[in-house]
Amino acid sequence: MKKKQVRTKGKLQLSKYFQEFVKGANVAVVRELAVQASFPKRLQGKTGVIESKRGKAYIIKINDKNKEKRFLIEPIHLKKIKQTK
């Protein structure tokens, strides 16, 4: 599992908590260990596409082997990635 540095342990970055994403943006799932996650641990490091926003969380479309699955994840657990074409 991921380990935080000593100075950042237990702290939240508010900018990450309130970050906004656009529909169709590519994101990676990176669990914030200071906040209890409501999604499976196997999603750590997976990438997906933002489908829509529901409340303060986002619906992420992730391909799991041959199946397309949707997960509801808060923005503090997401990281924007640039797609190179």
Q: Please indicate, yes or no, whether the overall pTM of this predicted structure exceeds 0.85.
A: no
Q: Is residue 39 part of a domain?
A: yes
Q: Is residue 44 part of a domain?
A: yes
Residue-level pLDDT at 80? 94
Residue-level pLDDT at 79? 93
Closest to 41 (Cα-Cα) out of 50, 26, 31: 31
Q: Is residue 16 part of a domain?
A: yes
| pLDDT tens-digit readout, 34-82 | 887 677 788 889 999 999 999 999 999 999 889 999 999 999 999 999 8
Q: Is residue 38 part of a domain?
A: yes
Q: Is residue 1 part of a domain?
A: no
Q: Are 2 and 33 spatial neighbours (Cβ–Cβ below 8 Å)? A: yes
Assess whether pLDDT exceeds 60 at residue 1: no
Domain count, the chain: 1
CATH number at residue 33: 2.30.30.70
Residue-level pLDDT at 3? 75
Assess whether pLDDT exceeds 80 at residue 32: yes
Q: Is residue 68 part of a domain?
A: yes
Q: Is residue 85 part of a domain?
A: no
Domain range spanning residue 56? 6-80
Q: Are 13 and 79 spatial neighbours (Cβ–Cβ below 8 Å)? A: no
Residue-level pLDDT at 85? 66
Q: Is residue 53 part of a domain?
A: yes
Assess whether pLDDT exceeds 80 at residue 26: yes
